[in-house]
């Protein structure tokens, strides 16, 4: 099957072809969920075709999703602190949380079903542990 249908359509017939990445493999992006360990996300060549690396990548996605929920519910600013320092600290925490959330989003955009389920379960576990009243002390 000719994979040229996956490349963008150029209306200007005189335009040069799109640049290649220098890799010998064809450019292919999934547009629906698929199952399997042969996936690539976040970094080129990672996790590759190894089952162990795929499992490690799922653990990384899970931990990142839990960390997003942890940082979302983190409140270290004490009443009466310096407001400028408190805002700067909270902004830094927010930036780290946003970075982790974007990494999870990019991993999910691989359209791998296992990555999607792992991210959703990681967010759910993080919410139960850090956001829900289940583990919070009563005032």
Model pTM greater than 0.85? no
- Domain count across the chain: 1
The alpha carbon of 40 is separated from its chain's Cα centroid by a whole number of angstroms, namely 12
- How far apart (Å, rounded) are the C-alpha atoms in residues 96 and 90? 10
Choose the weakest-confidence range: 4-8, 22-26, 124-128. Answer: 22-26
Residue 16 lies in a domain: no
Residue 98 lies in a domain: yes
Specify the 3-state DSSP secondary structure of 39. strand
The pLDDT value recorded for residue 10 is 47
Residue 20 lies in a domain: no
Please provide the average confidence, as pLDDT, over all residues in the chain: 80
- How far apart (Å, rounded) are the C-alpha atoms in residues 47 and 52? 9
Residue 17 lies in a domain: no
Question: CB-hemisphere CA count at 13 Å for 93?
Answer: 17
Model confidence band, residue 127 (pLDDT cutoffs 50, 70, 90): very high
What is the per-residue pLDDT across 38-94, written as a single tens digit (0 to 9) for each? 777 777 877 878 888 889 999 999 999 999 999 999 888 888 888 898 899 999 999
Say whether the peptide bond before residue 15 is cis (omega within 30 degrees of 0).
no
Residue 8 lies in a domain: no
Residue 112 lies in a domain: yes
Task: Identify the residue whose tokens are 């320092």.
Answer: 85
Residue 25 lies in a domain: no
Residue 18 lies in a domain: no
Residue-number span of the structural domain to which 107 is assigned: 35-131
- How far apart (Å, rounded) are the C-alpha atoms in residues 127 and 65? 10
Model confidence band, residue 26 (pLDDT cutoffs 50, 70, 90): very low
């Amino acid at each position: 099957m000719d994979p040229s249908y996956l490349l963008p359509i150029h209306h200007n017939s005189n335009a040069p072809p799109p640049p290649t990445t220098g890799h010998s493999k064809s450019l292919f992006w999934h547009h629906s969920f698929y199952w399997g360990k042969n996936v690539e996300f976040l970094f080129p060549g990672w996790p590759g075709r190894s089952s162990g690396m795929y499992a490690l990548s799922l653990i990384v996605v899970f931990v990142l999703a839990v960390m997003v929920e942890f940082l979302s519910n983190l409140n270290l600013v004490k009443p009466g602190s310096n407001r400028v320092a408190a805002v700067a600290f909270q902004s830094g925490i927010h930036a780290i949380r946003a970075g982790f959330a974007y990494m999870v989003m990019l991993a999910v955009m691989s359209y791998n079903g296992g990555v999607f389920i792992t991210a959703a379960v990681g967010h759910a576990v993080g919410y139960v542990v850090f956001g829900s009243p289940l583990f919070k002390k009563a005032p």
